[in-house]
Amino acid sequence: MIEADGLRRRFGATVALAGLDLRVPPGSVCGLLGANGAGKTTAVRILTTLLRADAGRARVAGFDVGRQPDRVRARIGLVGQHAAVDEVLSGRQNLVLFGRLHHLDAARARRVAAGLLDRFGLAEAADRPAGTYSGGMRRRLDLAAGLVHDPPVLFLDEPTTGLDPRARAEVWDYVRELSAAGTTVLLTTQYLEEADQLADRLAVVAAGRVVAAGTPDELKAALRGDRVDVALARAADLDAAARVAGAAAGAAAAVDAATLRVSVPVQDRVGALAAILPALADAGIAATDVVLRRPTLDEVFLRLTGAERGEVAA
Amino acid sequence: MSERTVQLGSAAPGDVSRWRWAMADGVVLTGRALAHWVRQPAQVLVGLLFPVLLVVMFGYLLGGAMTVPGGGDYREFLLPGMFAMTMVFGVEATYAAVATDLARGVTDRFRSLPMASSAVLTGRAAADLLHAAVALAVMLACGWAVGWHPRAGLPAAAGAVGLLLLLRFALIWVGIHLALVLRRPESVVVLQILVWPLGFTSSAFVASESMPGWLGAVAGWNPLSATVTACRELFGNPGSGGGSFAAEHAVILAVAWPLLLVAVFLPLSVRRYRHLAG
């Protein structure tokens, strides 16, 4: 549904995209994950016909974004920082306006607007200026504005940036609902949790290209960073536990004194677990909790982008 | 993909339907501007009354000390100048509207829609021309109230109104182009300041003959002076004479100057708008 090959774009001396490739199959949710300045927004602007690429090709919903922009525009919805609503007009006036500009007739535009206002919980505020809306309401109106023509492809450019947790969860629910109804979604986000929650597939962007792509589980597994974490009852056991668990798993264990935890990288997940627990018991070390875990997306992301932990806002 | 979207996408083949949609989209965006005025009546009212305030200021407070070359009432002389200044002030509104849409991301929203791209500019131009017509009507009524009258017949007066709206039309494209280049809504302050030297170095407030020689020449050839002098002539108000070539051919210049501005700034604006895609 979205195919990009070798997209390049520079702004003066700055290279925003350095050959970005992307495939988003119909009906899936693809998360474009990257730090600020990685090139996510430039990619979305090119795919939504707002910006020309210097080189490369992209097709959205079957049409070339450079050569048939109107065909693409009729089939996409754009939600995010870069496609705002009119703050002077009411929510209803905004939706009717965008419906009319999608060439719905007046009566139909009004019907569609009323339906979307209901669906996004804005019926009560429908006739107030959009400038008076709260952050969450604004974002719901943005979302509704991207849906007036029922587009098969939806672009969400950092849809929850600046929202409180409740408003964020609401937006997530709407995205899941749309995805369940068959809409193809391309989502950019800096929030790993958001990508993990919503996306079927992830593309990690750094310095203008996709450095890794796959399902969230594939990405995590690709790093082979499965670990067993053991939480201990007594601080005095930390060193002994690290030695015993490390020996049982055949790897060096890390000690976190602050949380009374010992963490061991493992290859054979179940086998390692089966070896570590009896060894600890034999050594008379009391464990309060044991977790077998994949690395978090944060860890994957940091490894892939080579960024320092402090630089990535999550 | 729904049936409807398929139809929409394929509804653009012929040139006729393309023109029809461009018109329809322009009308929708003009309607948007009208809705803005309904939502912000105070702002509209202040904009309409500001030139009225100037008429009172110049006509009554300063007017006593003014003499009109060739004789005549100063307010009769002033009003055509104020009509033209009202058109000039409009450039601020055009600039602010276009720059605000750009800065807030509304323009990008329009650009992501399958609408005619020309409509964003034509819709703005039509709305601002409508606003200018209302502002001019208010000023004509204000003129009437302070004793100004058109004294050269209705056809000539209609011609003067036409020239004023032509000036505004030209300034719309100057305003759109400046907004597309500068992109900062705050920069409207610069325009709010610059309209004054433009106004004062024209014959809008005082006759250019009363200025020092070189300044008088600048004022005489100021495009604004052409419209003002032509309006004085067509309204039959005092102060339209003067020996210079510019003053003798005011009506021709009042047509030529705005057309030149349109010929320069309309294509530049369209190019700039297309260039937003980089």
Over residues B117-126, the pLDDT tens digits come to 889 999 999 9
In this prediction, residue A308 carries a pLDDT of 38
pLDDT of residue B247: 80
Closest CB from A61, A81, A149 relative to B8: A149
What's the start-to-end Cα distance of chain A, in Å?
A: 29
Minimal Cα distance from B31: which residue of A?
Answer: A97
Residue B251 belongs to what H/E stretch?
helix B250-274
Phi, psi of A128 (to 5 degrees): -90, 150
Q: Which residues of A touch B29 (CB under 8 A)?
A: 101
pLDDT above 70: residue B13: no
Distances (CA, A) of A237 to A252, A260, A265, A290: 16, 9, 19, 15
| A219-252 pLDDT per residue, tens | 777 666 788 889 998 888 888 999 998 888 888 8
Q: Which residues of A touch B115 (CB under 8 A)?
A: 101-103
Mutate to test the interface with B, among A90, A101, A127 (most CBs of B within 10 A): A101
Residue B6: pLDDT band by 50, 70, 90 thresholds? very low
- pLDDT tops 80 at residue A199: yes
Residue A310 has pLDDT above 70, yes or no: no
Q: Would you call A84 and B106 a contact, using CB atoms and an 8 Å cutoff?
A: yes
pLDDT at B33 over 70: yes
Q: In this structure, are residues B117 and B270 in contact, taking their beta carbons and an 8 Å threshold?
A: no
Residue B234, pLDDT > 80, answer: yes
Section A161-173 average pLDDT = 88
Chain mean pLDDT for chain A: 88
Q: According to the model, what pLDDT value does residue A222 have?
A: 67
Q: pLDDT of B253-277, one tens digit each?
A: 999 999 999 999 999 999 999 888 8
Of A159-163, A176-180, A216-220, B145-149, the one with minimum mean pLDDT is A216-220
Residues A212, A22 contacting (CB under 8 angstroms): no
B116 CA: distance to closest CA in chain A (Å): 9
Dump pLDDT digits (tens) for B44-101: 999 999 999 999 999 888 887 888 877 788 999 999 999 999 999 999 999 999 999 9
Residue B3: per-residue pLDDT: 39
Nearest-CA distance A100 → chain B (Å): 7
Q: Which chain B residues contact residue A55 at CB under 8 A?
A: none
Q: Give A50's contacts in chain B (Cβ within 8 Å).
A: 108, 111-112, 276-277
**Chain B CB within 8 Å of residue A97 CB:** yes
Does the pLDDT at position A267 exceed 70? Answer: yes
Q: What is the pLDDT of residue A286?
A: 87
pLDDT at res. B241:
67
Q: Cβ contact (<8 Å) for B28 and A84?
A: no
Task: Pick the residue of B3, B109, B115, B273 with the most A CBs within 10 A to test the interface with A by mutation.
Answer: B109
Interchain proximity A84–B8, CB inside 8 Å: no
Angle at B128 between CA B23 and CA B202, to 5 degrees: 135
All residues of chain A having their beta carbon less than 8 Å from the beta carbon of residue B24 are 103
Alpha helices in chain A (DSSP H): 40-47, 69-73, 91-101, 106-119, 135-145, 165-180, 192-198, 216-222, 238-249, 269-282, 297-305
The pLDDT of residue A254 is: 83
A68–chain B Cβ distance below 8 A for any pair:
no
pLDDT for B4: 41
For A52, nearest residue in chain B (alpha carbons): B277
Residue B10 has pLDDT above 70, yes or no: no
User: What is the SS3 assignment for A234?
Assistant: coil
**The pLDDT of residue A51:** 94
Of B1, B111, B112, nearest to A152 by CB-CB distance is B1
Domains of chain A: 2-221 (3.40.50.300), 224-297 (3.30.70.920)
pLDDT at B134: 96
Rg (CA), chain A: 24
With cut-offs at 50, 70 and 90, classify the pLDDT of residue A82: low
pLDDT for position A309: 37
Residues from chain B that touch A78, judged by Cβ atoms under 8 A, are: 109, 112
- Tell if the CB–CB gap between B112 and A89 is shorter than 8 Å: no
Whether A99 has its CB under 8 Å from any CB of chain B: the answer is: no
